[in-house]
Structure 1
């Protein structure tokens, strides 16, 4: 037999505090104890006026905690976040607001961003402060770093686009590659390469290369992203590095049409500047390029990369079937014929060519080349030894096992960011605004893990120890100051 619920008690007035309405095991309690948010006051110093004008501003800690709530719980917009805070006692408690206290308008953060926080590194400093707390607690294990990229759908209609001609960005390593090419050509008795646009020997700066791209009318800073089974769309790409314990160490953000390997340099330098103990760098096949392998090995680190399938037509010999003879500097084809060195091209590849007379009568020519001149050309990069060394590391059990951890580390970070923290798409437009969103998202993910680990290890500050630190005595009253208000005893 059921009992009809009496709703009259809902109209009764009770004396309760907001402290009693928040469950003791709530994640926000752990987060509030895990880190002292007063560091935010130092980070925003100088961004607020020292003179009081009109209505007092909102406490910066409360303002940022509102944004933390949005990122922590994956709420889709600031408008919806304010609605949730109005009815959620745990959210109110976390930002320091009482039961009946009015919550700031949803446009407050947007106005503060455009007036105070825009063009500042305050979000990055908050991210680094949380990460440093994890380092101080010994939670970071950066002996192996996992790097990968993920796309974030832009707030832009893919049908509203136009073609734009832009300057092609030069490779970060272009100067170093040109020096290597000149050195290699000199060793083979070849003349230096001339400028692309000039036939004379006078050193003149080359004209910048141009390319045509599809540019969004809504968000011009985004780029067209199309990879595998993903739908073609305007997006941004976040190249991210994490440690063995899934703490996000840093990231680089760019347009969706920028390849992951292009963004690797900046991210790798930032990670090494913070964590010199990095020993192994685990990467996906998209990063397996001669320059990236050279960069990692030259910095005394070890790349953990997968097997990369040769991009060869079906029915033809694979590239690894053409053996390089280092002593004689030549290539041996599957039919044991010699391909001799011809030249080193502008892209840094040595060209080894066969004898057309021998290829013309070769029984394996249909599996080797379709060239009308009956000549096979095999390319070998000047930095190919780094690729071969990376391939040797791939067969080492220790580094092979580290690479397998990608599914439990960086891929898990992206899955959580998109499914639990609303990073699958963005409602913001422009690279700078999106960088603010991604920075806060990764900061909150680190903060959540930091609080969880501190609870497991018994490192959270207890409520009473926190009270003792804030006791103040006066002649007429004994006041115990609490973080949220004060309890007074006459």
Structure 2
């Protein structure tokens, strides 16, 4: 028999508990164990007035942002709607059924003011790193670093030629932030080369076609991760060129060492980080083994001898060619005594013209030059160390472990939906990258630390 039509009847009283309606295995319940926002109010106290009406609770806004970034809700307007309707979201935000949800405009006002002035989102991210360390998820022995392009909120068809610069009437928040970072090595000072196009909407973003296909405006998010469980140790926003990404790598390593007193034994990265200067910085200034392919352009395609065919004699500071002849920097002792470090960072080793003239291998060595010359970087010792490491079994393991940072970028774009920025300017990129890295670390904690389980061994 067909049932009768159900008619909703409002009850005068309800015995309702949000706590009972959130499943034990819900992601937010598992994340909530690791979210401690008790210090936020004290941290922000100096940025609030002592008079006037009470403002929206900053802890509530942060909890809502955590929901948005852990669940891939990119719009703050939609986030407010979801928190209004979803019981689990209300439970995580500590809102009862009758409590009002803040307006979406509240986030924008606080982001441009208190949150950025107090560096709150950076503090929030570092709190997740501290919790990962406390739970034993950080090994501290090996790090990996990489960068990924994230499209900027800028129309690729509305750029102006880089040689012309910005129009005089461009005065938006993003333009002001762009002017503020012109001398920053991670943005404007990363390279003297003018970009092909500049976006009026977000001039700090970089016109790039690094991934192939159509070019677009983008920022780079840089991750420094611990290899034990792929915990994000630091994150940095930069313009999308390799020089800026190498600068970000140095800043992240320095911050991690200063902030958490963790000194890794090795760093794993791709060839883009294998310049002589960067390898020397890792080896000589930080004492870190570079598990990085050496960036080397000495290979030749004309079937003549390459630099690798010349043996370097450390004891006598000379090269020996395939024909057994010497190449030296100076053939006169007086000139050697007056030598100064080269301005271009390259030592030049030359053979004797008489040795090359009578050599049967000249056609394969220097057919167009009177004598052979070999260049050696002032940082060649660090490059040699990286080459030696590349021959070990540990290096093969490192190459596999480097995929962990690439998997984090895939998770960032596919699961958290951050394949395009919603905020503009360098500060907008920093805000989004900090929140996304915070969300990924919280999800990592929720996955690896079951409810009621003791901390993992370090």
Using structure 1 for the length normalisation, give the TM-score.
0.76
The answer to whether residue 327 in structure 2 is matched with residue 339 in structure 1 is: yes
Q: What per-residue deviation string (whole Å, max 9, x for no partner) do you get for residues 181-229 of structure 1?
A: xxxxxxxxxxxxxxxxxxxxxxxxxxxx954333322211112333253
| Range with greater deviation from structure 2 (349-358 or 142-151) | 349-358
Does the aligned pair in 1 maintain the 2:275–2:294 contact within 8 Å?
Answer: no
SS at match of 2:375: strand
Does the aligned pair in 1 maintain the 2:235–2:437 contact within 8 Å?
Answer: no
Task: Tell me the CA shift for residue 381 of structure 1.
Answer: 0.5
Matched with 2:336 is: none
**Change in 2 beyond 3 A, CA 1:123/1:370:** farther
Matched with 1:271 is: 256
Task: Tell me the CA shift for residue 385 of structure 1.
Answer: 1.0
Matched with 1:198 is: none
Task: Tell me the CA shift for residue 350 of structure 1.
Answer: 0.7
Q: What per-residue deviation string (whole Å, max 9, x for no partner) do you get for residues 138-162 of structure 1?
A: 2221111111122221112233132
Does the aligned pair in 2 maintain the 1:142–1:275 contact within 8 Å?
Answer: no
Does the aligned pair in 1 maintain the 2:150–2:221 contact within 8 Å?
Answer: yes
Choose from 102, 105, 129 the match for 1:104: 102
**Change in 2 beyond 3 A, CA 1:99/1:419:** same
C-alpha separation between the residues in 2 aligned to 1:307 and 1:266? 21
1:61-100 → structure 2 map (5 Å cutoff): 61-100=59-98
**Change in 2 beyond 3 A, CA 1:352/1:226:** farther
1:241-280 → structure 2 map (5 Å cutoff): 241-243=224-226, 244-259=228-243, 260-273=245-258, 274-280=260-266
1:321-470 → structure 2 map (5 Å cutoff): 321-341=309-329, 345-355=342-352, 367-369=364-366, 371=368, 373-407=369-403, 409-455=404-450, 458-459=453-454
SS at match of 2:329: strand
The answer to whether residue 269 in structure 2 is matched with residue 283 in structure 1 is: yes
Q: Structure 2: where are the runs of 5+ without partners?
A: 166-180, 331-338
Does the aligned pair in 2 maintain the 1:150–1:239 contact within 8 Å?
Answer: yes
Does the aligned pair in 1 maintain the 2:276–2:379 contact within 8 Å?
Answer: yes
Task: Tell me the CA shift for residue 19 of structure 1.
Answer: 2.7
Q: What per-residue deviation string (whole Å, max 9, x for no partner) do you get for residues 2-27 of structure 1?
A: x9897626666564333333222111
The answer to whether residue 210 in structure 2 is matched with residue 223 in structure 1 is: no
Task: Tell me the CA shift for residue 426 of structure 1.
Answer: 0.3
Q: What per-residue deviation string (whole Å, max 9, x for no partner) do you get for residues 94-113 of structure 1?
A: 11223343322211100122
Task: Tell me the CA shift for residue 366 of structure 1.
Answer: 5.7
The answer to whether residue 219 in structure 2 is matched with residue 236 in structure 1 is: yes
Task: Tell me the CA shift for residue 64 of structure 1.
Answer: 0.8
C-alpha separation between the residues in 1 aligned to 2:401 and 2:291? 11
**Change in 2 beyond 3 A, CA 1:367/1:252:** farther
SS at match of 2:195: strand
Choose from 285, 299, 319 the match for 2:307: 319
C-alpha separation between the residues in 2 aligned to 1:135 and 1:441? 19
Task: Tell me the CA shift for residue 115 of structure 1.
Answer: 3.3
Task: Tell me the CA shift for residue 309 of structure 1.
Answer: 6.4
Task: Tell me the CA shift for residue 231 of structure 1.
Answer: 4.2
Task: Tell me the CA shift for residue 442 of structure 1.
Answer: 0.7
Q: How many residues align?
A: 418
Q: What per-residue deviation string (whole Å, max 9, x for no partner) do you get for residues 250-279 of structure 1?
A: 122211135232333212211222233422
C-alpha separation between the residues in 2 aligned to 1:4 and 1:295? 78
Task: Tell me the CA shift for residue 171 of structure 1.
Answer: 8.6
Q: What per-residue deviation string (whole Å, max 9, x for no partner) do you get for residues 83-137 of structure 1?
A: 2223222112211223343322211100122232233211111111222122222
Report the aligned-residue RMSD: 3.2
Using structure 2 for the length normalisation, give the TM-score.
0.81
C-alpha separation between the residues in 2 aligned to 1:262 and 1:92? 41
Does the aligned pair in 2 maintain the 1:43–1:125 contact within 8 Å?
Answer: no
Task: Tell me the CA shift for residue 457 of structure 1.
Answer: 6.0
Task: Tell me the CA shift for residue 363 of structure 1.
Answer: 6.1
**Change in 2 beyond 3 A, CA 1:235/1:363:** farther
**Change in 2 beyond 3 A, CA 1:93/1:101:** same
Q: What per-residue deviation string (whole Å, max 9, x for no partner) do you get for residues 366-398 of structure 1?
A: 654574x44433210111011111222222323
SS at match of 2:194: strand
Does the aligned pair in 1 maintain the 2:224–2:249 contact within 8 Å?
Answer: no
C-alpha separation between the residues in 2 aligned to 1:69 and 1:34? 14
Task: Tell me the CA shift for residue 170 of structure 1.
Answer: 10
C-alpha separation between the residues in 2 aligned to 1:233 and 1:287? 23
Does the aligned pair in 2 maintain the 1:224–1:257 contact within 8 Å?
Answer: no
C-alpha separation between the residues in 1 aligned to 2:57 and 2:348? 65
C-alpha separation between the residues in 1 aligned to 2:184 and 2:113? 35
**Change in 2 beyond 3 A, CA 1:459/1:100:** farther
The answer to whether residue 300 in structure 2 is matched with residue 305 in structure 1 is: no
C-alpha separation between the residues in 1 aligned to 2:436 and 2:352? 59
Does the aligned pair in 2 maintain the 1:310–1:318 contact within 8 Å?
Answer: no
**Change in 2 beyond 3 A, CA 1:121/1:395:** same
C-alpha separation between the residues in 2 aligned to 1:152 and 1:437? 11
Q: Structure 1: where are the runs of 5+ without partners?
A: 173-208, 461-490
C-alpha separation between the residues in 1 aligned to 2:149 and 2:106? 29
Matched with 2:175 is: none
Matched with 1:475 is: none
Task: Tell me the CA shift for residue 431 of structure 1.
Answer: 0.4
